[in-house]
Amino acid sequence: MTTEPPDTDTFQITAEAAELYEARFVPAIFAEWAPLLADLAGVRPGQEVLDAACGTGIVARTVADRLAGDGRVVGLDLNAAMLAVARRVRPDLEWRQGDVAALPFPDRSFDVVLCQMALMFVPDRTAALREMARVTRPGGTVALCVPAALADQPAYGPFVEVAAQHAGAEARMLLGTYWACGDLDRLLETAAAAGLAVVDARTHLGTASFDSVEAFVATEVEGSPLAQRITRDVYDRIRTGARKALAPFTGPDGTVAAPFRGHLLAARPRQG
């Protein structure tokens, strides 16, 4: 086990965890969704764009490449370690530390605010969406992407059950956080309560790609606080069980193409 759990008081993670996020999660999952989110928001040259809860910055980087120097991109995250990786990968972009539920920007600062695969980790989601609406200009767009419910994940659902079988209910709770915004109707209600008028909501089935079952398990377990709470024997049993659970998604060469379903939402701040 290599990744330490986050500091629950400050929501900080270690430098090692941030590097793991960039090296494993970004290419396996998040790189596929960043252009989909930018497309949904209609990102175009000349705009000012905020990547809220940016992590190591895959959305900000994708947007910056589209703007090609014509516009402004800001990546914001609460975690200093994530931002350190973001700055290393793209030192030319603007990175800010801050809380999505208390954005450090004036009203109407951006044409587009994007938030990819992060809202489920925010304690007060309504407050965060309200803040995103506040800093968006009239006629601008707030666009979100979150994982769908675990029950709608044909690969991840069985994997979480394997983890819970060997590591107990705590494993289901810790790994279940990722899917906490998976009810699309509830997400739409939260957006409305935050003063957003939804203009588009859709569900997309993507693919989480890994070199092997072992790589899948290492990413999902070591990238969560579960890593520090189980023994090597339990980890090995989870890995063995995962081989069976992920067999339908494992190719002859051992690579894993795990279906990953997510919700995408675009909205505009209500005026008045």
Cβ-based neighbours of 160, under 8 Å, separated by 6 or more: 150, 171, 172, 175, 176
Q: Which of 4-8, 160-164, 193-197 has the lowest mean pLDDT?
A: 4-8
Can you spell out the DSSP letters for 216-243? HHHHHHHTSGGGGGS-HHHHHHHHHHHH
Q: Report phi then psi at 264, rounded to 5.
A: -120, 140
pLDDT of 244 reads 98
CA distance 218 to 2: 9
Confidence of residue 21 (pLDDT cuts 50, 70, 90): very high
pLDDT tens per residue, range 121-165: 999 999 999 999 999 999 999 999 999 999 999 999 999 999 999
Confidence of residue 10 (pLDDT cuts 50, 70, 90): very low
Yes or no: say if 49 and 73 are a contact pair by the CB < 8 Å rule.
yes
pLDDT tens per residue, range 52-77: 999 999 999 999 999 999 999 999 99
Confidence of residue 271 (pLDDT cuts 50, 70, 90): confident
pLDDT of 8 reads 39
pLDDT > 80? residue 3: no
Cβ-based neighbours of 8, under 8 Å, separated by 6 or more: none
Q: Domains of the chain, with CATH numbers? A: 15-149+179-209+260-269 (3.40.50.150)
pLDDT > 70? residue 49: yes
pLDDT tens per residue, range 209-265: 999 999 999 999 988 888 889 999 999 999 999 999 999 999 999 999 999 999 999
Give me 259's structure tokens. 């279906």
pLDDT of 14 reads 86
What pTM value is reported for the model? Answer: 0.93
Yes or no: say if 4 and 13 are a contact pair by the CB < 8 Å rule.
yes
